[in-house]
Amino acid sequence: MKLETLKKLYVTQLRDIYDSESRILKALPQMAEAAQHPQLKRAFERHESETQEQIRRLEQIFDALGQSPKGETCEATLGLIKEGQEMISAGGDADVRDAGLIGAAQKIEHYEIANYGTVATYAKMLGERQALQLLTTSLEEEKRTDKLLTTLAKSFVNSDAYRSYQYDQNNGDDSYDYESASGIGFSIVSLLIGAAAGIAAGMLLAPSSGADSRRFITNKANKFGGQIGDQFNNTFKKDKSSDYSSQRSDTETYVTPNYNRPSSTGYNDFGSPANL
């Protein structure tokens, strides 16, 4: 295939995205079924509905172009979905698997953000105004899903998975009661984590017309999440033996990991024309 014009590249990339979305649509119900946390399950179910609409938008673009959306196979998506399926079929702790599902899903989201940002840039250059509007809508949905997954991971999914790691560090001693080890303080912190997650996730799932509200609440929730993480660490430190505290000190950052993800405004820092 010769890419002789930007228009031909644009159509080829649109077909690649169409194939990608079609495959993701089939994978999302499996990820939702595998998820243990109800909030994560709902996030996958919501994105399944969004993906159906994104496919319809692509079909609308191809109708306007007078061309078929089929003809490309997205090899990258095949690989990303395979990773997700490995998480689904993995045994072990359900909380750890949920953390892995979020990681696999965010790899897909980042790929989709780059895809939609790129073709939206091409559409703008080619004067495809209707297509630009449709592609931008899908791009914003992908960014919002990525933010939601990050909020779920940082609020409680990764912390739940980390407790399994603590169990391993304690040599699998079933007599160690993690709930009572940190007393009432741990219970309070757990409630605060749930509250922060509920607020942030609820706003991120709000309609797009509430963008300003979502940004405000998301910033507050992220700040609140950091404060909770500090309290979470301090609570555990107070009630552990000196040996156990020493074992955990090297891995405390995993309670509330700081993902060094690119900005939600695009991926230009990585050399991609993703941001409009």
Mean pLDDT of the 228-235 span: 51
Domain-terminating residue out of 135, 152, 169: 152
Higher-confidence residue: 261 or 104? 104
The verdict on 18 and 145 lying in the same domain is yes
| Position 18 in a domain | yes
The verdict on 166 and 139 lying in the same domain is no
10 Å CB burial of residue 168 (0-12, 13-18, 19+) is exposed
| Position 266 in a domain | no
The verdict on 162 and 55 lying in the same domain is no
Q: How far, in Å, CA of 126 to CA of 47, rounded?
A: 29
Most confident range, picked from 3-7, 12-16, 181-185: 12-16
Q: Tell me the pLDDT band of 253, cut-offs 50, 70 and 90.
A: very low
Mean pLDDT of the 33-49 span: 96
Task: Write out the residue range of the structural domain in which residue 170 sits.
Answer: 154-254
Residue 114 has pLDDT above 70, yes or no: yes
Residue 222 has pLDDT above 70, yes or no: no
Most confident range, picked from 55-69, 164-178, 198-212: 55-69
| Position 63 in a domain | yes
Q: Using the 8-state DSSP alphabet, how is residue 261 labeled?
A: P
Residue 237 has pLDDT above 80, yes or no: no
Output the average pLDDT for the chain: 76
Chain segment 117-155, per-residue pLDDT in tens: 999 999 999 999 999 999 999 999 999 999 999 999 999
| Position 273 in a domain | no
Domain-terminating residue out of 99, 123, 152: 152
Structurally, how many domains does the chain consist of? 2
The verdict on 39 and 56 lying in the same domain is yes
Residue % of the chain over a pLDDT of 90: 56
| Position 228 in a domain | yes
The verdict on 148 and 158 lying in the same domain is no
Bin 42: left if φ > 0, else alpha if -120 < ψ < 50, else beta: alpha
| Position 267 in a domain | no
Residue 38 has pLDDT above 60, yes or no: yes
The verdict on 107 and 21 lying in the same domain is yes
The verdict on 108 and 242 lying in the same domain is no
- CATH code of residue 42: 1.20.1260.10
Amino acid at 63: D
| Position 73 in a domain | yes
Lowest mean pLDDT among 100-104, 124-128, 235-239: 235-239
Q: How far, in Å, CA of 39 to CA of 34, rounded?
A: 13
Mean pLDDT of the 72-79 span: 97
The verdict on 126 and 140 lying in the same domain is yes
Residue 82 has pLDDT above 80, yes or no: yes
The verdict on 163 and 148 lying in the same domain is no
The verdict on 89 and 112 lying in the same domain is yes
Mean pLDDT of the 7-15 span: 97
Are residues 96 and 164 in contact, defined by beta-carbon separation less than 8 angstroms? yes
Residue 242 has pLDDT above 60, yes or no: no
| Position 223 in a domain | yes
Q: Tell me the pLDDT band of 182, cut-offs 50, 70 and 90.
A: very low
Contacts of 129 (CB under 8 A, 6+ apart): 123
The verdict on 18 and 143 lying in the same domain is yes
Domain-terminating residue out of 152, 173, 205: 152
The verdict on 122 and 233 lying in the same domain is no
Mean pLDDT of the 200-222 span: 54
| Tokens standing for residue 218 | 């998301």
pLDDT of residue 3: 86
